[in-house]
């Protein structure tokens, strides 16, 4: 009898939880509207058709951010052939906040070069996943990281849909997350473009207000029919990013993840996470109450039989 | 004060970055050569052989768009710019800013709703896209140092030449990790 009781209690509790979850879901589907980014934030439009792979941006980044000397000269094209595990091209590291990758696209006359760095999302997954609030999205558009509060859990590295944050594993005493900050400290907050943008000889990158860049991007696509695929990568991906891309090759052919969806990463867990505090606060009280009630009944029964 | 400072800076930039008139020798329909020194911090100036390029180009409009008074070669441009009068200046630097993306430049371009050419390239971008674009199709030189030799400061910037990193010892995992 007692066993059955407990089981039905649990069942009831679960059903109740599910009901709360259902209510929570419908309520929060409306309340969870995206932040959508600061209205006047800055961004960079990268026209991949223009990049010639000279890596001047990498050199400029290295100098501006005071990064350690590279393993190879910045004019050494052999880095394009370097492969990391899984045959993937090189990625951002603690020593390089931006890297250029080379893609040999069948049917394209020249290889396509792709600059990789933090995309500075409107609603960054690194920021929303960080439980000590080490990340900040500035109104200018940069996603900043504060190493003084970081506890080194590296959840941001897992959360980032673009695999950008790197970790200074080389530091035994104080390892921190390392990533592009859009030159916020030295340039962006003074209204200046990031060092890579300014250094690029081909003006592959256009710096400006994100909303202006979007108009410009679509104008460029319509002005030159056939020169670009009709998509601005980063316009909607994961809720929009400050860095956006134009390409003449479909984005999925040159290493871009085209299945990220247009919702910020936090949207996928927001609904679940709203239930967690409810479960953590209501359930313990509820079940303690049940426990006390049943114990009291038992105790009363025992007293009855004794007397 | 700010205006005077800006003017002074602009003049200094012009003196530093653009062709001194003495370096130009004029042919009948344009300069014989032009010194292009906008990347002087990392590279020596390019001595652009204008006269030779006049011989190679099919039309002045190949490079000068509509400014020489000829019809532009890009059909997109012809929609507004037909053959007409020569512009006040046909010099690249007078239209393409050497301060691209500076706050002032962004204010001028982004802040002006009447402006159509919001994405007009800066001077450096205009040179490289025009030169490299044509050189790629015409088989001209396309390497960085084919046109401008890198100087010592440039070598340091690229960690190249005498600033190149020491080659890593083969067999990797011994020390240093």
Which chain B residues are closer than 8 Å to A206 by Cβ? 101, 119
| B101 with A212: Cβ contact below 8 A | no
Q: Where are the beta strands (DSSP E) in chain A?
A: 42-47, 83-84, 88-89, 99-103, 112-116, 135-137, 143-145, 166-167, 177-178, 205-209, 243-246
Q: Is residue B177 part of a domain?
A: no
Class of domain A42-254: alpha beta
B174 within domain boundaries:
no
Q: Is A262 on the interface with B (CB under 8 A)?
A: no
How high is the pLDDT of residue A20? Answer: 47
* Chain A CB within 8 Å of residue B168 CB: yes
Tally of domains within chain B: 1
Q: Contact A51/A114 with Cβ under 8 angstroms? A: yes
User: What single DSSP character describes residue A85?
Assistant: G
CB contact under 8 A, A203 and B100: yes
Chain A residues 13-52 within an 8 A CB cutoff of chain B: 50, 52
Asked if B92 and B123 touch (Cβ cutoff 8 Å), the reply is: yes
Cα B54 to Cα B63: distance, rounded to the nearest angstrom: 10
Q: Tell me: the pLDDT tens digits for A250-298?
A: 999 999 999 999 989 888 887 887 888 888 888 889 999 999 998 988 8
- Domain spans in chain A, listed from the N-terminal domain onward: 42-254
Q: Least CB-CB distance to B158: which of A75, A110, A200?
A: A75
- Is B79 at the interface with chain A, CB within 8 A? no
Nearest by CB to B159, from A54, A74, A219: name it: A74
Mutate: best of A203, A211, A232, partner B, most B CBs <10 A: A203
> What pLDDT is attached to residue A25?
46
Q: Is position B146 within any domain?
A: yes
Residue A126 Cα distances to A147, A268, A274, B162, angstroms? 13, 14, 19, 40
Kindly determine whether residue B159 and residue A69, on different chains, have CB atoms separated by under 8 Å: yes
Please tell me if residue A65 touches chain B, with a CB cutoff of 8 Å.
no
CA B120 to chain centre: 12
pLDDT higher than 70, residue B121: yes
> Can you give the pLDDT of all 307 residues of chain A as single tens digits?
444 555 554 455 545 444 444 444 444 444 456 677 888 999 999 999 999 999 999 999 999 999 999 999 999 999 999 998 888 999 999 999 999 999 999 999 999 999 999 999 999 999 999 999 999 999 999 999 999 999 999 999 999 999 999 999 999 888 999 999 999 999 999 999 999 999 999 999 999 999 999 999 999 999 999 999 999 999 999 999 999 999 999 999 999 999 999 989 888 887 887 888 888 888 889 999 999 998 988 888 888 777 6
**Token pair 């530091």 is at which residue?**
A171
Which among A50, A62, A224 is the nearest to B129, CB-wise?
A50
Whether B32 maps to a domain, the answer reads yes
Mean pLDDT of chain B: 81
- A159, A265 contact by CB (below 8 A): yes
In a domain, B166, yes or no: no
Residue from the list B118, B128, B164 with its beta carbon closest to the beta carbon of A201: B128
- Considering the domain boundaries, does residue B168 fall inside one? no
Q: What is the pLDDT of residue B115?
A: 87
Do B117 and B95 touch, CB atoms closer than 8 A?
A: no
Side-chain half-sphere of A91: how many Cα atoms within 13 Å? 17
Nearest chain B Cα distance for residue A207, angstroms: 6
CA distance B104 to chain A (A): 9
The answer to whether A72 touches A223, Cβ cutoff 8 Å, is no
Closest-CA residue to A135 (of A115, A155, A161, A163): A155
Q: Can you give the pLDDT at residue A276?
A: 84
Question: What DSSP line would sit under B44-102, residue for residue?
Answer: PPEEEEHHHHHHH-S-THHHHTTTTSSPPSSHHHHTT--S-PPPS---HHHHS-TTTTS
Report the distance separating Cα A280 and Cα A275, nearest Å. Answer: 8
Residues of chain A neighbouring B75 (CB-CB closer than 8 A): none
Contact A200 B119 (CB under 8 A): no
Chain-chain contact of A203 with B128 (C-beta, under 8 angstroms) = yes
Residue B132 contacts A, CB cutoff 8 Å: yes
Q: CATH number of the domain at B144, please.
A: 3.90.10.10
């Amino acid at each position: 009898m007692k066993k059955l009781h407990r089981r039905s209690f649990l069942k009831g509790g679960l059903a109740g939880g599910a009901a709360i979850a259902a209510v929570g879901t419908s309520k929060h589907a409306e309340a969870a509207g995206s932040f959508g980014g600061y209205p006047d934030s800055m961004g960079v439009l990268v026209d991949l058709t223009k990049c010639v792979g000279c890596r001047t941006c990498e050199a400029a980044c290295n100098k501006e951010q005071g990064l350690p000397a590279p393993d190879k000269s910045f004019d050494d094209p052999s880095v394009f052939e370097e492969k990391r595990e899984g045959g993937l091209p090189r990625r951002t590291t603690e020593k390089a906040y931006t890297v250029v990758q080379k893609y040999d696209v069948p049917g394209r006359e020249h290889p396509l070069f792709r600059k990789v760095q933090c995309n500075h999302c409107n609603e960054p997954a690194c920021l929303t996943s960080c439980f000590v609030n080490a990340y900040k999205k500035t109104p200018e558009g940069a996603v900043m990281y504060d190493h003084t509060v970081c506890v080194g859990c590296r959840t941001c590295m897992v959360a980032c849909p673009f695999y950008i944050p790197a970790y200074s594993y080389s530091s035994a005493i104080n390892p921190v997350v390392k990533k592009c900050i859009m030159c916020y400290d030295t340039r962006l907050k003074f209204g200046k473009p990031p060092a890579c943008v300014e250094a690029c000889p081909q003006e592959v990158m256009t710096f400006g207000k994100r909303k202006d860049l979007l108009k410009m991007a679509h104008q460029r696509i319509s002005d030159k029919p056939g020169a670009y695929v009709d998509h601005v990568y980063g316009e909607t991906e994961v809720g929009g990013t400050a860095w956006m891309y134009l390409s003449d090759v479909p984005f999925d052919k040159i290493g871009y993840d085209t299945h990220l969806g247009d919702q910020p990463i936090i949207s996928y867990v927001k609904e679940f996470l709203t239930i967690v505090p409810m479960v953590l606060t209501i359930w313990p009280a509820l079940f303690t109450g049940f426990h006390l009630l049943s114990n009291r009944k038992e105790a009363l029964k025992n007293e009855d039989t004794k007397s | 004060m700010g205006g005077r400072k800006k003017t002074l800076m602009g003049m200094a930039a012009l003196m530093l970055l653009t062709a001194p008139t003495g370096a130009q020798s004029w042919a009948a329909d344009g300069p014989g050569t032009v010194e292009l020194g906008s990347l002087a911090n990392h590279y020596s100036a390019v001595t652009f052989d204008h006269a030779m390029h006049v011989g190679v180009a099919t039309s002045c409009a190949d490079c000068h768009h509509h400014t020489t008074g000829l019809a532009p070669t890009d059909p997109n441009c012809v929609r507004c710019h037909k053959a007409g009068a020569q512009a006040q200046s046909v010099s690249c630097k007078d239209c393409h800013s050497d301060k691209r993306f500076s706050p002032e430049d962004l204010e001028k371009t982004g802040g002006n709703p009447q402006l159509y050419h919001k994405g007009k390239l800066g001077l450096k971008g205009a040179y490289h896209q025009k030169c490299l674009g044509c050189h790629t199709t015409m088989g001209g030189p396309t390497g960085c140092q084919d046109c401008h030799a890198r100087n010592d400061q440039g070598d340091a910037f690229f960690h190249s030449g005498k600033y190149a990193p020491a080659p890593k010892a083969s067999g990797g995992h011994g020390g240093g990790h």
